[in-house]
Amino acid sequence: MKKTSILLLVAIVLTSCVSKKKFLALEHENGEIKSELTKTKVAKEDLEGKFAAIQERVDQYNTKINTLASLNSSLSEENDSKMENVAGVAVMSNNTKTKMRETLTKVDPNLVSQAKTLKDSMDLAVSYNLKKRMNTTSFDESDDIAISIDETVVMISISDKMLFNSGSYRVSNKANDILQKIADVVNSESSIDVMVEGHTDARSINTDKLQDNWDLSVLRATSVVRKLQQQYNVAPEKLIASGRSSYQPLVGNDTREDRARNRRTRIIILPNIDKFFALMSEDN
């Protein structure tokens, strides 16, 4: 009986020792797991911080990319509309050049081949569009209507016989059609001003109403201006009347034909050249 008790006591002691060792081992293992968990949390927080920093940089790069894309688009549009002066000719943009080239595809190739400079091409394109709008398609320089560009203005030269009777400053009814078309062009764009210039030949004139060619040229210009205002509703603040007498001839005054060329009224349209090209579009 005593022997049995001793054996039982030994078993209890041994069992107690084994359990304590396992407990200590498990406690150590638990400590390591907690340590690893702590390290993992720290690593996670570190990665989250790095990810947030990376995301911020990505957002910044995206913002820069969008800004650059927007700037590039703006620059592209600006480049298309950028005004430039080429060899002292009219100021025009890339958009206008494109329209000019499109117009020239419709012009007689023989006339296009004679256009040696940018100004020649511009004259041809504007003349085509304007004459088409006015239902006059001949480009012969001896015609009763001649159109050209000088710097940033468009000039329409109309022969004396289309507007007036010989020696008179009263506008004839045969001028109605051409003045109506000019008025339509002027009235379609608020930014346009119009100067009407009277020109005579060099033969002197003196009547009870006209002292000389100065009077004749000025009165012809004011007659056209009044008709544009009163009959075709062109705003008077857009109109300028002036006379040049005989002092800006196109040619000499030695022959009847040359004198006829010098007798003319010049309609000078003062627009932004891009607006004028848009105005002269066939689609208008």
CATH architecture for the domain at 88-279: 2-Layer Sandwich (3.30)
Angle, helix 118-133 to helix 94-104, in steps of 10 degrees: 70
Stronger pLDDT, 133 or 262, i.e. the higher one: 262
Closest by CA to 257, choosing from 213, 201, 211, 180, is 201
SS3 57: helix
> Tell me, what amino acid is at 103?
T
Residues 251, 262: contact at Cβ < 8 Å? yes
Residues 214, 199: contact at Cβ < 8 Å? no
Stronger pLDDT, 202 or 166, i.e. the higher one: 202
Residues 212, 244: contact at Cβ < 8 Å? no
Give pLDDT, residue 8.
57
Rounded-to-integer distance, Cα 115 and Cα 165, Å: 35
Give pLDDT, residue 184.
86
SS3 89: coil
Query: Encoding tokens for residue 135?
Result: 């239902």
Angle made by CA atoms 69, 70, 72, in degrees to the nearest 5: 65
Stronger pLDDT, 170 or 72, i.e. the higher one: 170
Q: Read off the pLDDT of each residue in 225-239 and give the average, rounded to a whole number.
A: 95
Q: Read off the pLDDT of each residue in 219-226 and give the average, rounded to a whole number.
A: 96
Is the predicted pLDDT of residue 223 greater than 80, yes or no?
yes
β-pair type (193-199, 239-243): parallel
Considering the chain, what is the average pLDDT of its residues? 77
Compute φ and ψ for 253, nearest 5 degrees: -115, 30
Angle made by CA atoms 149, 150, 153, in degrees to the nearest 5: 75
Give pLDDT, residue 121.
81
Cα 62 to Cα 17, 56, 68, 268, 277: the distances in Å are 66, 10, 10, 52, 40
pTM of the model: 0.58
Is the predicted pLDDT of residue 202 greater than 80, yes or no?
yes
Q: Read off the pLDDT of each residue in 41-48 and give the average, rounded to a whole number.
A: 77
Closest by CA to 126, choosing from 92, 176, 83, is 92
The domain limits of the chain are 1-81, 88-279
Rounded-to-integer distance, Cα 194 and Cα 176, Å: 17
Q: Read off the pLDDT of each residue in 159-177 and give the average, rounded to a whole number.
A: 86
Q: What radius of gyration, in Å, describes the C-alpha atoms of the chain?
A: 45
Is the predicted pLDDT of residue 211 greater than 80, yes or no?
yes
Stronger pLDDT, 17 or 67, i.e. the higher one: 67
Rounded-to-integer distance, Cα 183 and Cα 232, Å: 6
Model confidence pLDDT, tens digit, residues 71-118: 555 555 555 445 555 445 455 667 777 878 888 888 888 888 888 887
Residues 130, 147: contact at Cβ < 8 Å? yes
Is the dihedral angle over the CA atoms 214, 163, 233, 190 positive or is it negative?
A: negative
Rounded-to-integer distance, Cα 201 and Cα 263, Å: 5
